[in-house]
Amino acid sequence: MLEDWLAPKAAALEARGLTRRLHARAADDDLIDLAGNDYLGLSTDSRVIAAAAEAIQRWGTGSTASRLVTGTTALHEELESELAAYAGQESALVFSSGYLANLGVVTALGGPGTLLVSDEHIHASLVDACRLSRSRVEVVPHNDLEAVEKVLAERNEPHAVVMTESVFSVLSDKAPLVDLAAVALDNDALLLVDEAHGLGVTGGGHGSVHASGLAGLDHVVVTMTMSKSMASQGGAVLGPRLLRDHLINRARPFIYDTGLNPAACAAALAALRVLQAEPDRPAAVHAAAARLAAACGVPPSSGAVVSVPMPGPRETVRAAELCLDNGVRVGSFRPPSVPDGISRLRLTANAGLSAADLDRACAVIVDAIGQVS
Ligand SMILES: Cc1ncc(COP(=O)(O)O)c(C=O)c1O
C-alpha cells in the first residue's frame, strides 16, 4: 500500500533533483564548518560544555514533565531573566524549541478575531503557526510596508499581528523594523519579530529589535531560538509580562510539551554569559561573513548567513559535494527551503573561524562554484 502511495512521490522529487538525504557527521571530523548555525562558535566551548554537564549531574538528563508540572527548574528561571535583560525586554518564556515558541505565541494570540500579516519570506515555523491559528492570514510581498499598512487598515478584526524576521534565515537580508513598528502602532497591531538569526549577531549581540530602539515597547514581541548563537537548543518568547502570563495559560506548545531539558538551559545560559564577557564575538561573525560574501561576489550579509544563488538544485548539491571533498562543509538549500525558488549555497560565518580557515574555505568554494556553473 505504501509503495503505491509514496514511491511515485519519491520518484517525482528525484526527477527534479530535490530529494533530501541525511548525512551523519563525525564528532572528530576536521572540516571547516560553514553549514551549522553555531554563529558564535560556542557549542564546543569548554565553559558551555561544563555548564551542561554540571546541570545533568544536578538535575538529571530530562526535565521530567511539562513546565507547569515539574519541568521548570531554577535554570529555566535564570535563563528567562538573563535573556530578557540582555534583549531589553520585560520578560521571557522558554519553550523547548524556537519552532514551538513561534507556534505557541501565534496560536495563543490568533483566532477568528485576529488578522495575521505574514511576510512572504517568513520561516516555516511561522507559516505553520498561521495554519494552526484559525486566524485569517494575509501574506504580503517581502518587506513591503505599504502592503502591510493596507491590509491592517482594511481589516475587520479587532486585533492584528504583523510577523517578520529581523534577519531572514536564507537570504540574510533584514526587515525594516522601525517602519514596521510604526505602521503596527498606527494601526493598533502587534509586531512579532523572529530574532533567530539576529540575537547574538546583530546590535552587538543584543539583536536588531534592541538596536532599533524597539526593545521593551508594549506592541513589539520577539521570538528567538537557543539553537544558533546560544549554542544549545530551545526557544523563547520575549516581551511584556502580560503576554508571558497569557502564554503560560494559553500557548498549547508550552502547556502540552515537556519542558526544555536542564542541560540545554544551562548551556544556553553559559553561552549568553560568555557572549556578555566577550562582546567582540558578534563583530568577528560579521567580519567572516563579509569575507565570504566578497569572495563569492554576493552583496554583504546583514547577519551570519551568506547566500550564494546557483544555477539549479543539482549544481547546488554538486558544489556542496565538491566543497566537502576538499574539507569545507557548506549548506545546500533547494526548493521548498528557499523563499524565492532559487537554489543556493548557504554559508554560515562563525566567530571561531581563523583567517587561514577563511582563506582556504573561500578558495574551495569559489573553485567548486566555477566547476559546476
Ligand atoms: C527564523 C527561524 N525561526 C525559528 C527557527 C526554529 O528554531 P528551532 O531550531 O529552535 O526550532 C529557525 C531555525 O531553526 C529559524 O531559522
Q: What's the 372 CA to ligand 1 centre distance in angstroms?
A: 30
Report residue 23's pLDDT band, with 50, 70 and 90 as the boundaries: confident
Report residue 337's pLDDT band, with 50, 70 and 90 as the boundaries: confident
Q: What's the 345 CA to ligand 1 centre distance in angstroms?
A: 18
**Are the C-beta atoms of 221 and 237 separated by less than 8 Å?**
yes
Higher per-residue confidence, 39 vs 170: 39
Please tell me the predicted confidence (pLDDT) of residue 17.
86
Q: Average pLDDT for residues 27-54, to the nearest whole number?
A: 96
pLDDT at 232 over 90: yes
Query: pTM here?
Result: 0.96
Q: Region of 234 please: left (phi>0), alpha (psi -120 to 50) or beta.
A: left
Q: Average pLDDT for residues 269-295, to the nearest whole number?
A: 97
Best of 95, 123, 130 for a ligand 1 pocket test (most atoms within 8 Å of beta carbon): 123
Q: What's the 99 CA to ligand 1 centre distance in angstroms?
A: 5
pLDDT at 36 over 90: yes
DSSP tag of 191 = E
Please tell me the predicted confidence (pLDDT) of residue 62.
97
Task: Write out the residue limits of the CATH 3.40.640.10 domain(s) in the chain.
Answer: 46-277
For the domain made up of 46-277, give the CATH fold.
Aspartate Aminotransferase; domain 2 (3.40.640)
Please tell me the predicted confidence (pLDDT) of residue 339.
84
The chain-wide mean pLDDT, for the chain, equals 96
Task: Write out the residue limits of the CATH 3.90.1150.10 domain(s) in the chain.
Answer: 27-44+280-372
pLDDT by residue (tens digit) across 156-211? Answer: 999 999 999 999 998 899 999 999 999 999 999 999 999 999 999 999 999 999 99
**Are the C-beta atoms of 345 and 365 separated by less than 8 Å?**
yes
- Class of domain 27-44+280-372 (CATH, top level): alpha beta
DSSP H stretches of helix in the chain: 2-15, 46-59, 74-87, 98-109, 124-132, 145-153, 177-186, 208-211, 241-250, 252-255, 262-277, 281-296, 313-325, 355-372
Please tell me the predicted confidence (pLDDT) of residue 106.
98
Please tell me the predicted confidence (pLDDT) of residue 340.
86
Annotate 124-189 with DSSP letters as a single string: HHHHHHHHHTTSEEEEE-TT-HHHHHHHHHT--SSEEEEEEESB-TTT--B--HHHHHHHHHHTT-
Q: What's the 33 CA to ligand 1 centre distance in angstroms?
A: 19
Q: Average pLDDT for residues 235-251, to the nearest whole number?
A: 98
pLDDT at 238 over 90: yes
pLDDT by residue (tens digit) across 68-120? Answer: 999 999 999 999 999 999 999 999 999 999 999 999 999 999 999 999 999 99
| Percentage above 90 pLDDT, the chain | 93
Q: Whose CA is closest to atom 2 on ligand 1?
A: 196
pLDDT by residue (tens digit) across 319-328? Answer: 999 999 999 9
Ligand 1 atom showing the smallest separation from residue 226 Cα: 10
Q: Which residues line ligand 1 (CB under 6 A)?
A: 97-99, 102, 123, 125, 165, 169, 194, 196-197, 225, 227, 235
Please tell me the predicted confidence (pLDDT) of residue 229.
98
Closest CA relative to residue 208, chosen from 181, 185, 244, 190: 181
**Are the C-beta atoms of 237 and 198 separated by less than 8 Å?**
no
pLDDT at 278 over 90: yes
